[in-house]
Structure 1
Amino acid sequence: MSDESRAGAAADLLWTAWTSGERIGALPDDVRPRDDAEGFATQLAIGGHAGRTYGWKIAATTTAGQAHIGVTGPLPGPLFERFRHDPGDVLPSDDMHMRVVEAEFAYLVGADVAPDAAPDEIVAAVDGLHLAVEVPDSRFARYETAGGPQLLADCACAGRFVLGPQVSGWAEHDLSTWGTEVWINGERAATGSGGNVLGDPRNALVWVAEDLRRYGRGLRAGELVTTGTTTAPVPVGPGDEVRAAFGELGEVSFCFAG
Structure 2
Amino acid sequence: MNDPIREAADALLGAYRSMTPIDPLTPKFTDAPLSAAYEIALAQVQDWEKNGDTVKGHKVGLASRAMQRQMGVDQPDFGHLTASMFHLENAPIPAGTFIQPRIEPEVAFVLSRPLRGPGVTVAEAAAAVEFALPALEIVDSRITDWKIGIFDTIADNASSGGVVLGSKPSKLADVDLRLAGCNLHVNGELVATGAGGAVLGSPLNALVWLANTVGPLGVTLEPGHVVLPGSMTRAVPIQPGDTVVATIAGLDSVTAVMEGTDK
Structure 1 and Structure 2 fold alike (TM over 0.5): yes
Answering whether residue 215 of structure 2 is matched by residue 213 of structure 1, we say: yes
* Residue aligned with 1:202, SS: helix
Segments of 4+ moved more than 4 angstroms: 28-33
Instruction: Report the AA paired with residue 49 of structure 1.
Output: D
Q: 1:129 to 1:29 in 2, by over 3 A?
A: same
Maintained 8 Å contact 2:241/2:257: yes
Out of 28, 36, 39, the residue aligned to residue 37 of structure 2 is 39
Out of 112, 130, 134, the residue aligned to residue 131 of structure 1 is 134
Equivalents in 2 of 1:33, 1:101: separation in Å?
32
Q: 1:92 to 1:114 in 2, by over 3 A?
A: closer
Out of 7, 10, 20, the residue aligned to residue 8 of structure 2 is 10
- 1:176 Cα deviation from its structure 2 partner: 0.7
Instruction: Report the AA paired with residue 44 of structure 2.
Output: I
Over the aligned positions, Cα root-mean-square deviation in angstroms equals 2.1
Q: 1:45 to 1:102 in 2, by over 3 A?
A: same
- 1:31 Cα deviation from its structure 2 partner: 7.7
Maintained 8 Å contact 1:32/1:150: no
Q: Which runs of 5+ in 1 are unaligned?
A: none
Q: Which runs of 5+ in 2 are unaligned?
A: none
Maintained 8 Å contact 2:106/2:134: yes
Match of 2:176 in 1: 174
Maintained 8 Å contact 1:102/1:232: yes
Equivalents in 1 of 2:251, 2:154: separation in Å?
32
Equivalents in 2 of 1:28, 1:147: separation in Å?
7
Match of 1:184 in 2: 186
* Residue aligned with 1:94, SS: helix
Correspondence 1:54-69 to 2 at 5 A = 54-69=56-71
Q: 1:177 to 1:13 in 2, by over 3 A?
A: same
- 1:14 Cα deviation from its structure 2 partner: 0.5
Query: How many residue pairs end up in the alignment?
Result: 255
Maintained 8 Å contact 2:136/2:246: yes
Render the CA deviation track for 1:101-127: whole Å, top value 9, x for unaligned. Answer: 111001111111243433321222111
Correspondence 1:1-258 to 2 at 5 A = 2-3=1-2, 5-27=3-25, 34-50=32-48, 51-115=53-117, 116-144=119-147, 146-258=148-260
Equivalents in 1 of 2:79, 2:201: separation in Å?
20
* Residue aligned with 1:175, SS: coil
Render the CA deviation track for 1:121-157: whole Å, top value 9, x for unaligned. Answer: 122211111111000001000434x322222110010
Q: 1:175 to 1:239 in 2, by over 3 A?
A: same
Equivalents in 1 of 2:233, 2:58: separation in Å?
19
Maintained 8 Å contact 1:25/1:142: no
Render the CA deviation track for 1:169-189: whole Å, top value 9, x for unaligned. Answer: 332211111111111112222
Equivalents in 1 of 2:4, 2:233: separation in Å?
36
- 1:96 Cα deviation from its structure 2 partner: 3.4
* Residue aligned with 1:113, SS: coil
